Amino acid sequence: MSGETYFLYHSIGQYPSKTKDLSDVMTEFAVNWGATNDSQWGYALGKRQAFIDRWRAIIKAPLGSLTTTESVTQSFHMLLTSLPAGHLKGRKVLVGADCFPSNHFLLQGLAERYSFEIKTVALRQGAAHVEDEDFLKDWTPDVGLALLTWVSSTTSHRINLRHLTAHGRRMGSLIGVDITQAAGLLPFDVNAPEIDFAVSTSLKWMCGTPGAGILYLCPRLIPHCHPELRGWFSQANPFNWDISTFAYAPDIRRFDNGTPGTMAALASLPALDWHATQDQAQILAHNRHITARLIDAADDMNLPLVTPRPEQKRGGSIMLRLPDQLKAAEVVTTLRAQSITTDARGQTLRLSPGIMTTDAGTDRLIQALKALL
């Protein structure tokens, strides 16, 4: 299929020339890396820097404030373990029950070692996402760090980032944001409001590949962070061979360590290049058009919305609660047999239309759901 019935942008984003672009860049890499000369590292590191620069433009990050990682979890770990000694000791790390589970797993593993308490903001009875008001209520002055989920992966609930950040500043907490589920679709500026750090991958609306994560850190905080994992690329001059002398780079490069992995960044760069040439307002308008149609169809089929109805309170996905007698996994399988790509979490059907999803494809999805119901 052409992608007109692809509703999986919350998982893996697609764009029209992705297969060809990936093939071309892998071939280009093979030619350059296999050359019997000394140009390999200049080529590979240049591609990595181009990836970094594309991401900087997406979230308005200044030079020297963003680097590559393998995943959101690794980014969060790098940040947590670099904080000044004792910063979190005896304090709380605040996170919502609807955060990406991997981040919570990480916190559970680090809490005892760094002597902090995990404060998980609970869901209200019957609710699928944490309400901003409940997050604010639990955000007290003893919170040393709060990780905000900009858009939920299970409900597409979008927080009021400005309101929450303003409260966090009054509490004196470090403020981080997981922007994975909307970066590249909804506009994001690390300075409006100013946040302390951000983590993301390139998989979803950015249409990249696995392993292409990023860590952004506010420049005023970088000098106070001392990453636990360090190596020759953590220095301003990686070619310092004096093993008795080490100094962290003054910028985000201090979060690099050994020889950088470049493959994921290099493979994702064509997607980011494609994204940079598109009309961002048109991409969002297309998503809003299709998601509005999905909401109308859900109402027509009496399927409860898990996603907030107001546009300003949601990301780019529509999540629907299927009736208990209609098993979600079977629905996904039946739709897949009709070349309609979706997924589910429990009884929640997740639908995320992107640039390749069409009105005709949406018609096919709606008719297929009506037939199943």
CATH of the domain at 203: 3.40.640.10
pLDDT at 51: 98
Same domain, 102 and 236: yes
Mean pLDDT for 91-115 is 96
Q: What is the pLDDT of residues 288-343, one digit of tens each?
A: 999 999 999 999 999 999 999 999 999 999 999 999 999 999 999 999 999 999 99
**158-184 mean pLDDT:** 98
Is 58 in the same domain as 194?
yes
Residues 171, 112, single domain; the answer is yes
Task: Give the orientation angle of helix 101-114 with respect to helix 72-80, to 10 degrees.
Answer: 20
Residues 258 and 319 reside in one and the same domain = no
Domain assignment present for residue 34? The answer is no
Residue 186 is assigned to a structural domain of this protein:
yes
Do 188 and 98 lie in a common domain?
A: yes
- Does 166 lie in the same domain as 102? yes
58-76 mean pLDDT: 98
Who's near 73: CB < 8 A, 6+ residues apart?
102, 103, 105, 106
Tell whether 308 and 248 lie within a shared domain: no
Q: How confident is the model at residue 353 (pLDDT cuts 50, 70, 90)?
A: very high
121: in domain: yes
Let me know whether 246 and 314 are in one domain.
no
Residue 1 has pLDDT above 70, yes or no: no
What would the two tokens of residue 74 be?
């690794």
Rounded to the nearest 5°, which phi and psi values hold at 111?
-60, -45
Residues in contact with 145: Cβ distance below 8 Å, sequence separation at least 6, in sequence order = 80, 83, 88, 91, 93, 94, 173, 174, 175, 176
- Give the per-residue pLDDT at 319: 97
Do 295 and 354 reside in the same domain of the chain? Answer: yes
The arithmetic mean of pLDDT across residues 110-125, rounded, is: 96
Examine the fold and report which residue of 223, 257, 276 is the final residue of a domain before the chain moves on: 276
6 half-sphere exposure, CB direction, 13 A CA radius = 20
- Report yes or no on 2 lying in a domain: no
Report yes or no: 100 and 130 within 8 Å, Cβ to Cβ.
no
* pLDDT, position 303: 97
Beginning with the edge strand found earlier in the chain, give each strand of the sheet holding 66-69 in spatial order. 66-69, 213-217, 197-200, 174-178, 143-149, 92-96, 117-121
Q: Is the pLDDT of residue 2 over 80?
A: no
Residue 278, pLDDT above cutoff 80: yes
Please determine, for residue 117, whether its predicted confidence score (pLDDT) is greater than 60: yes
pLDDT recorded at residue 144: 98
Q: Are residues 110 and 223 in the same domain?
A: yes
* Range(s) of the domain holding residue 258: 39-276
Query: So what's the pLDDT on residue 81?
Result: 97
Distant-in-sequence contacts of 331-336, Cβ < 8 A, 24+ apart: 331/369, 331/372, 334/368, 334/372, 335/365, 335/368, 335/369
Q: Which of 276, 292, 321 is the last residue of a domain?
A: 276
Same domain, 182 and 197: yes
Q: Residue 309: how many CB atoms within 10 A of its CB? A: 11
Residue that is last in its domain, among 255, 276, 297 = 276
Return mean pLDDT, the chain: 97
Amino acid at 319: M
Q: State what percent of residues in the chain have pLDDT above 90.
A: 97
pLDDT in tens, 147-165: 999 999 999 999 999 999 9
Confidence of residue 58 (pLDDT cuts 50, 70, 90): very high
Residues 87 and 110 in one domain: yes
Here the CATH number for the domain that contains residue 364 is 3.90.1150.10
Residue 85 is predicted with a pLDDT of: 84
Is residue 293 assigned to a domain? yes
In the structure, what pLDDT confidence band is assigned to residue 229 with cuts at 50, 70 and 90? very high
Contacts for 114 with CB less than 8 Å, ≥ 6 apart = 80, 88, 89
The answer to whether residue 16 is domain-embedded is no
**Helix 18-33 / helix 40-59 crossing angle, nearest 10 deg:** 150
Task: Identify whether 12 is part of a domain.
Answer: no
Tell me, yes or no, whether 264 lies in a domain: yes
User: What's the domain count of the chain?
Assistant: 2
Residue 118's pLDDT is: 98
How sure is the predictor about 35, in pLDDT bands with cuts at 50, 70 and 90? Answer: very high
